[in-house]
Structure 1
Amino acid sequence: MAPIQFGILAVAYQVVDAAGPTDLLASASKSALLTIRDYVPIGDDLISRAPEFEFHHIGVTKDPVDLGTSQMTIVPTTTVDECPELDILLVGGPYLGTFDLHPKHADLIRRHVAAGKLLFTTCTGASLVASTGALDGRMATVNNIEYEWVRKRWPKVNWTREKKWIIDGNIWTGSGAIAATDMVAHWLKENYGLDVLIQAAATLDYEPRDSDGLFNVFPQRFDSKGEKLSTHIFRYHEE
């Protein structure tokens, strides 16, 4: 199976907006699970179902991009003009008051959505997509702190904050950086199985929440005293 071509828009996003979802996906990859198998038992069937990803950090140029937090700078791996055909595009969120989306990035978003390709947004990344018109008539969510601001600025979008993430066709919007990581965990579970998600999450000591923000994704397991056991520990030691 060919690797999934996964693009991340290289803008001044908050670091965890991209690092959270992509680290989870990388941890679910076939190559990562083969490495982890040196330390914990992982069956051949699980590994055979695991995806593989190629990540592309897409700049307008290949000049370094200062991210919005952690005093971190990244160097894009490709440009809008040179980027390979993408399967998935992730748009992270910058601080909106000081950021304008470059026309080439805006055009990439519009073309990707129009082609029916999967788009993930994290935090205020939904605002960037809204600014392109690609969210007009769609239901979406955004960082709750800026919810009223974006609702007034882009009124053609059906904004909601009833859920931690919203799925409207090929556009998945997460309300914040961690909620969007939970959203990507849901996508991983739906497409590759709960056991693949559990194994990937275990490497990060991470338990995702559902779209209501509740820890109902993993099976609940208890010891003889009725105390909840870690799903990760159960997964590693059940054999």
Structure 2
Amino acid sequence: MKHISLLIPEGDVSFSNLEATYKMFTKVNEALQRTGQEPLFQVQLVGLTQDARITNGLFSIQPERVVREVSKTNVIIIPAVHGDMPQVIAANRDFGPWIVHQHRQGADVVSLCIGAFILASTGLLSGRSCTTHWLAADEFRKMFPDVHLLPYKIITDEGGIYTSGGAYSSLNLILYLVEKYAGRNMAIRASKIFEIDIDRHSQSPFIIFQGQKEHHDEAIKKVQEYIEQNFQHKMTVEELAEMAFLSRRNFERRFKKATSNTVMEYLQRVKVEAAKLSLETSQDNVNEVMYSVGYSDTKAFRATFKKITGISPLEYRNKYHKAVAEPIMR
């Protein structure tokens, strides 16, 4: 039987992470028992102190055990904790040595959504890949520059450390773990019970590009604003460098440092964001949208769009166009 330590951190913890994780593993146990098999998982809520308690105003959760009482576990799951991330990390730093020790003993370590901040603070993600909610990507990069962040991914799996993307994509990671521990058939069964797309791998379609302007390079910020207002028109790196009164080399270096994108990557992302909005709200076909955002090469537009969002323009339109989405909400 696998012992799963579902952490109860200090702070504004995601109840949905806790409830969904607990329920999915226990439902797998129930399914096994119905066929005469032994349960596979023992899930325990583990906190820093016995007095730890989290509440959402309606319900309260208290840990069953404290970390000092858990000498050996197989899986550690860190839920999302909302709030000021340096404060969240400070409040939960005492989990760190225990998590590292358990991982060295062979435990898998899992973070859900922005639980990646707590995981990264242990040092276990240093030099590794991880994901988190795309809205938290810029802050994560600033706090943990030695971690290879992949904010478009739903799941990462590297060396016994697992992370999930934003919000309810944590369900995809728990399902992934069910498949690892209980097999593909059980994972498929769980995906049907909980109505989860078992093969969803990317959160790129959900990312809203908000040009990175949390920097103090005013020359670069001016160019960003120009790109966002004139993305339909052709522009070259040389023209943009002249606008900033910089050499091309210095301009490209400063632009990448300020925005975490090359100039052309930034321009592509602005164009694709405009295309996404048009595909969601207008009646224009894909080619008309392509021309409206400044592309004339169909192949290049489709390739760029898919690279950034993970799906084709037509698939995006079919999935997110207002006329298609409205009946689902009724």
Pick the TM interval, shorter chain. 0.7 to 0.9
Indicate which of 154, 163, 166 corresponds to 2:156.
166
Write the distance in 2 (CA, Å) between the matches of 1:177 and 1:112. Answer: 26
Corresponding position: 1:57 with 2:55: no
Distance in 2, matches of 1:207 and 1:22, equals: 19
Residue 125, structure 1, aligned to residue 123, structure 2 = no
Contact 2:116–2:131 (CA under 8 A) maintained in structure 1: yes
Q: Tell me the residue number matched to 2:22.
A: 22
Change (3 A) 1:176 1:51: farther
Give the conservation status (yes or no) of the 8 Å contact 1:7–1:58. yes
Q: How many angstroms apart in 2 are the aligned matches of 1:170 and 1:70?
A: 35
97-106 vs 203-212, which moves further: 203-212
2:161 & 2:193 partners in 1: Cα distance? Answer: 28
Q: Deviations over 1:63-108 (max 9, x none)?
A: 14224x5653211100111124100000011114052343331111
Q: Which residue of 2 aligns with 1:175?
A: 165
Quick one: distance in 1 between partners of 2:182 and 2:191?
13
Partners of 1:132 and 1:208 lie apart in 2 by: 30
Give the 5 Å matches for 1:203-222.
203-212=193-202
Greater displacement, 152-161 / 198-207: 198-207
In 2 relative to 1, CA 194–70 (structure 1 residues): closer, same or farther, beyond 3 Å?
A: farther
Asked whether the equivalents of residues 171 and 196 of structure 2 are also in contact (C-alpha less than 8 Å), the reply is no
Alignment partners' CA distance in 2, 1:9 and 1:34: 25
1:33 counterpart (16, 31, 39): 31
Say whether the 8 Å CA contact 2:134–2:152 is kept in structure 1. Answer: no
The two structures have a TM-score, normalised by structure 2, of 0.55
1:79 aligns with 2:77: no
What is the distance in 2 between the residues matched to 1:149 and 1:103?
19
SS of structure 2 residue aligned to 1:120: strand
Tell me what 2:283 maps to. none
> Within 2, Cα distance between the matches of 1:133 and 1:34?
37
Greater shift, 57-66 or 108-117, is seen at 108-117
* Greater RCO structure (CA 8 Å; 6+ sep): 1
Partner of 1:92: 79
Cα 1:124–1:186 change in 2 (3 A) is same
Would the alpha carbon gap of residues 70 and 201 (structure 1) be closer, same or farther in structure 2, given more than 3 Å must change? farther
Q: Is the 8 A contact 1:92 1:122 kept in 2?
A: yes
Report the equivalent of 2:2: 4
- Give the match's secondary structure for 1:28: helix
Structure with higher strand content: 1
The structure with the largest alpha-carbon Rg is 2
Taking the TM superposition and a 5 Å limit, the aligned residue runs for 1:186-197 are 186-197=176-187
Q: Which residue matches 1:198?
A: 188
Residue identity matched to 2:67 = V
Aligned to 1:184: 174
CA 1:140 to 1:51, structure 2 compared with 1: closer, same or farther past 3 Å? farther
SS at match of 1:81: helix
What CA RMSD, in Å, does the superposition of the two structures yield over aligned residues? 2.3
Contact 1:164 / 1:211 at 8 angstroms: preserved in 2?
yes
- Given that 2:188 and 2:198 are in contact with CA atoms closer than 8 Å, whether structure 1 keeps it comes out as no
Structure 1 residues 87 and 28: alpha-carbon distance in aligned structure 2, compared to 1, 3 A threshold? same
- How far 1:26 moved relative to its partner? 1.2
Between structures 1 and 2, the one with greater helix share: 2
In the alignment, the residues of structure 2 paired with residue 193 and residue 102 of structure 1 have an alpha-carbon distance, to the nearest angstrom, of 33
Tell me what 1:41 maps to: none
Aligned partner of 1:149 in structure 2 is 139
Shift of 1:213: 5.5
Which residue does the alignment assign to 2:253?
none
Match of 1:217 in 2: none
Q: How high is the TM-score relative to the length of structure 1?
A: 0.74
